[in-house]
Structure 1
Amino acid sequence: MVNIAIFASGSGSNAENISNYFKNKEGASVRLIISNKADAFVHKRAEVLGVKSVTFSKDDFEKTDLVLDCLRENQIDFIVLAGFLLKVPQNLIDAYPQRIVNIHPALLPKFGGKGMYGDNVHKAVVAARESESGITIHYINENYDEGNIIFQAKCEVLSDDTFQNVAEKVHQLEYLHFPPVIDSVIAELSKG
């Protein structure tokens, strides 16, 4: 059994979608949700899902091994970032090589990097008059949004789309593709 931890900073709709996907799956399950915000709605979702959730401060992530210790105590094998806004520290990258994936709400390498998350990305896509956007699922490395790309899916951006329209299209791609892509990455890891 592959135990998954989801890191989330906000409402947790992707965390909920992923948890539900793996609820009746053999071979993997969501065992833990970690946030950097005690008041994040993801904790309420975790409670309803029956998944343990914990909060760690930015300093806990950056200056201690508390998060790593928690992951080990909960026998976590794989980490999924789903709307997590902190940079993943090196100690976690070293402990989970090629076992941390993130979803980005644009087609990397465009519109990535520090500060490019959520509506900031969609606003930038609309301002640049892009004809398409989408999602990028990628491995994590020491730089924001620069890890190896696993999967991308595209959606059309119309000339009269607002950033909210683009956000909705991108969310639909996230909900559709993120769980099965995670599943396939875990299946590949299990083979090796």
Structure 2
Amino acid sequence: MKHIILFASGSGTNVENIVKYFEGHSAIAVSCVFTNKRDAFVIDRCNAMGVPAFSFNGPAFKNGSILLQILKNLKPDLIVLAGFLRKIPSEMVADFPEKIINIHPALLPKYGGKGMYGKHVHREVKANKEKESGITVHYVNDHYDEGAIIEQRSVSIASSDSEDEIARKVQELEHLHYPRIIEAVLTEN
């Protein structure tokens, strides 16, 4: 059995989608979820689904030694960022090379980098009158949104689409493709 650990910062819709996708899977399971916010709604979602969820504070993440030791002890086959808004420390990237993946709500390299997440991305897509947007699943390295791209999926954007409509279209892509891409990464390695 291959084990996934999820990291999230917010409400956890991607976490819930990934957990449900792998429920009863014969070869892949979600072991637990980590969040950097003690009051994140993802914890409620995890409790409802019976998935262990743990929160940590900023110093535990930045210093990283305790969290890193916990991760090493858990021996995940893949660490999946699902709406996690912190930069992964270099030590963690070094200890889990090509074992940490992220989903970004745009077609990288466009609209990536520090501060480019969620509504900030969709606002820029709208302001620049893009005809398409999408998702990029990529490996995590020492720089925001610059790791090797695993897969991208796009969706058409109409000039009349609001930022919220763009966000909805992109989230539909996330829910449709992210679990399948995770599965492919795990079965190809």
TM-score by length of 2: 0.98
Structure 1 runs (4+) deviating above 6 angstroms are: none
Secondary structure in 1 aligned to 2:29? strand
Local SS of the residue matching 1:151: strand
Correspondences of 1:29-178 after superposition (within 5 Å): 29-178=29-178
Residue deviations 1:94-132 (CA, integer Å, cap 9, x gap): 111101000000000000000000110000100011000
Alpha-carbon distance in structure 2 between the residues aligned to 1:49 and 1:70: 22
Pairs aligned (count): 189
Question: Aligned-pair distance for 1:25?
Answer: 0.9
Q: Percent identity?
A: 47
Q: In the aligned structure 2, how far is the partner of 1:51 from the partner of 1:66?
A: 21
Gaps of 5+ in 1: none
Question: Does structure 2 retain, via aligned residues, the 8 Å contact 1:32–1:74?
Answer: no
Inter-partner Cα distance in structure 1 for 2:133 and 2:104: 11
Per-residue deviation at 1:148? 0.4
1:170 Cα deviation after fit: 0.2
CA-CA distance at 1:75 after TM superposition: 3.3
Task: Measure the CA separation in 2 of the matches of 1:66 and 1:16.
Answer: 26
Tell me whether 56-65 or 107-116 shows the greater mean CA deviation. Answer: 56-65
Offset at residue 137 of structure 1 (A): 0.4
Distance in 2, Cα, partners of 1:56 & 1:89 = 14
Q: Distance in 2 between matches of 1:31 and 1:80?
A: 11
Please tell me the residue identity of whatever aligns with 1:105: P
Gap regions ≥5 residues in structure 2: none
Match of 2:22? Answer: 22
- Does 84-93 or 64-73 show the bigger shift? 64-73
Amino acid at match of 1:121: V
Counterpart CA distance in 1 for 2:73 and 2:150 is: 28
